[in-house]
């Protein structure tokens, strides 16, 4: 099998930018156009529940799909994607680096995928906690992120992480944790926070 890395960059106007990275195992017989199409659909499935909670100032800036090896090293650039993942809410955005937080477990202790979803509007929290309606949307986003995807291509997507501890790709094992406590968009270190 082969592995993909998807880099999504968001512009947050004068607040800077945020990056989310996704990894998955895929069927190497897929063509580049099939990979880009399916990846675009996958990103839209993840962000669709969150868009009505994301501030309109949080706009999709760029998306890139790369083929990587089990160590996360780039083999080749497959291409760019432009999914519809930008925010739609008018009003103020929570201060950087505040973000929604979630993680998905693998079959190995201390190896997990974590995400910080940026750009949430201030109106979706009170007294330092996110509202339940937003958390329900986060659960839907995490289900789309962590679940294996059916496709016209057999075994196109098996989401997981590139693990520095294991030295290889590790698939998710099916359980996730979300929280109504705001997290922070962290600085990415090699093989961390993926």
Residue 131, pLDDT score: 95
pLDDT of residue 148: 66
Sign of CA dihedral 128, 176, 109, 24: negative
- What six digits make up the tokens of 116? 């910080």
Q: What are phi and psi of 142, to 5 degrees?
A: -70, -40
Angle at 177 between CA 69 and CA 22, to 5 degrees: 25
How much is the pLDDT for 153? Answer: 47
pLDDT band at 188 (very low <50, low <70, confident <90, very high): low
Which of 14-18, 41-45, 169-173 has the weakest average pLDDT?
14-18
pLDDT band at 193 (very low <50, low <70, confident <90, very high): very low
**Cβ contact 93:121 at 8 Å:** yes
Domain ranges of the chain: 2-184
Average pLDDT over residues 35-64: 93
Q: Distance (Å, rounded) from C-alpha 89 to C-alpha 155?
A: 36
Taking the C-alpha atoms of residue 151 and residue 128, their distance in angstroms, rounded to an integer, is 40
Q: Which H or E run contains 34?
A: helix 32-47
Residue pair 100/134 in contact (Cβ under 8 Å)? The answer is yes
| Contact by Cβ (8 Å): 58, 94 | no
Mean pLDDT score across all residues of the chain: 87
For residue 36, the SS3 value is helix
pLDDT at 154: 47
Q: What percent of the chain has pLDDT over 90?
A: 58
| Region 20-35 average pLDDT | 90
Spatial contact of 99 and 183, defined as CB atoms under 8 Å apart: yes
Decide if 108 contacts 83 (C-beta within 8 A): no
CA atoms within 13 A on the CB side of 84: 6
Residue 133 has pLDDT above 70, yes or no: yes
Kindly give the interhelix angle for 32-47 and 132-146, rounded to the nearest 10 degrees: 160
Average pLDDT over residues 111-122: 91
Radius of gyration, alpha carbons of the chain? 16
Query: Region 36-64: what's the mean pLDDT?
Result: 93
pLDDT in the model for residue 18: 87
pLDDT tier at 150 (50, 70, 90 boundaries)? low
Residue 151's pLDDT band (cuts 50, 70, 90) = low
């Amino acid at each position: 099998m082969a592995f993909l890395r998807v880099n999504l960059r968001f512009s947050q106007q004068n607040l800077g930018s945020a990056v989310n990275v996704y990894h998955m195992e895929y069927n190497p017989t897929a063509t580049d156009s099939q990979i880009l199409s399916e990846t675009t659909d996958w990103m839209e499935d993840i962000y669709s529940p969150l868009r009505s909670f994301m501030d309109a100032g949080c706009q999709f800036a760029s998306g890139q799909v790369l083929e990587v090896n089990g160590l996360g090293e780039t083999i080749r650039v497959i291409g760019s994607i432009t999914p519809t993942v930008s925010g739609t809410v008018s009003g103020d955005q929570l201060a950087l680096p505040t973000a929604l937080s979630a993680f998905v477990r693998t079959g190995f202790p201390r190896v997990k995928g974590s995400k910080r979803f940026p750009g949430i509007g201030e109106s979706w929290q009170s007294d330092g906690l996110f509202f339940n309606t937003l958390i329900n949307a986060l659960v839907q986003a995490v289900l789309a992120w962590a679940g294996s995807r059916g496709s016209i291509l057999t075994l196109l997507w098996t989401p997981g992480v590139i693990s520095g501890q294991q030295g290889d790709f590790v698939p998710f094992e099916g359980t996730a944790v979300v929280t109504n406590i705001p997290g922070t968009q962290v600085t990415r270190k090699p093989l961390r926070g993926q």
